[in-house]
Chain A
Amino acid sequence: ETGVTQTPRHLVMGMTNKKSLKCEQHLGHNAMYWYKQSAKKPLELMFVYNFKEQTENNSVPSRFSPECPNSSHLFLHLHTLQPEDSALYLCASSHTDVNLGNYGYTFGSGTRLTVV
């Protein structure tokens, strides 16, 4: 257990379904992230939240919709996905200090998503 919990661990969904991925951390971190990990491709940063405010959206299609209701929880809402969206979705959190920099990320175990 890393301190970052992702649910579900596995998800199979049809292209017309709507589902949500959940991420939770109680490490006192002030930033949370969604990454996509596809086979044979680099980790792709999707979204960044600092103090619950979205600070980065790396040209992610609108069928992915993030939500950060508080500094401990992060969601990724999914709708009308495509088969190429099948991947491991990783959540991470970190504590960043404007003077001291980035302390490194704590990752969850990921949600393995399969779109059929």
Chain B
Amino acid sequence: GNSVTQMEGPVTLSEEAFLTINCTYTATGYPSLFWYVQYPGEGLQLLLKATKADDKGSNKGFEATYRKETTSFHLEKGSVQVSDSAVYFCALSDSPQNTPLVFGKGTRLSVIA
């Protein structure tokens, strides 16, 4: 079956540090990959996505590259801010079946000034 594994948190970084949150997946087809972010007291928001191998999704300084050879979609940001503190979820949807999104467990990021 489809599954997503992401690194356990919490992750605590100082402002302007480099961020990597690892995500690997297992899928039977050709999945689309997503990163969602959840700020305190809110629902999940789509951060970025990639729909095929070697695609790079980017948004708000965050990037992730769809690596089929390593079945990975690691999230990176070169310089984090306090406002990036949130829970980050990696997710996949298998296609062409268009299966519902399968989420990882989430990684809590805390950025301190």
B42 at the interface (CB under 8 A from A): yes
Question: Which of the candidate stretches B19-27, B43-51, B64-72, B75-83 sits at the interface with the other chain?
Answer: B43-51
Contact B44 A102 (CB under 8 A): no
Interface of A is mostly: strand
B105 adjacent to A42 (CB under 8 Å): yes
Report Cα–Cα, A110/B102, bound state, in Å.
18
Contacts of B44 in A (CB 8 A): 90, 92, 105, 107
> Chain A residues near B49 (CB, 8 Å)?
104
Assess the B104–A107 pair: CB atoms within 8 A: no
20 examples of A-B residue contacts, CB within 8 angstroms: A2-B45, A33-B100, A42-B103, A42-B104, A43-B89, A92-B43, A96-B98, A101-B32, A102-B32, A102-B93, A102-B95, A102-B101, A104-B32, A104-B46, A104-B93, A104-B101, A105-B46, A107-B44, A109-B42, A109-B43
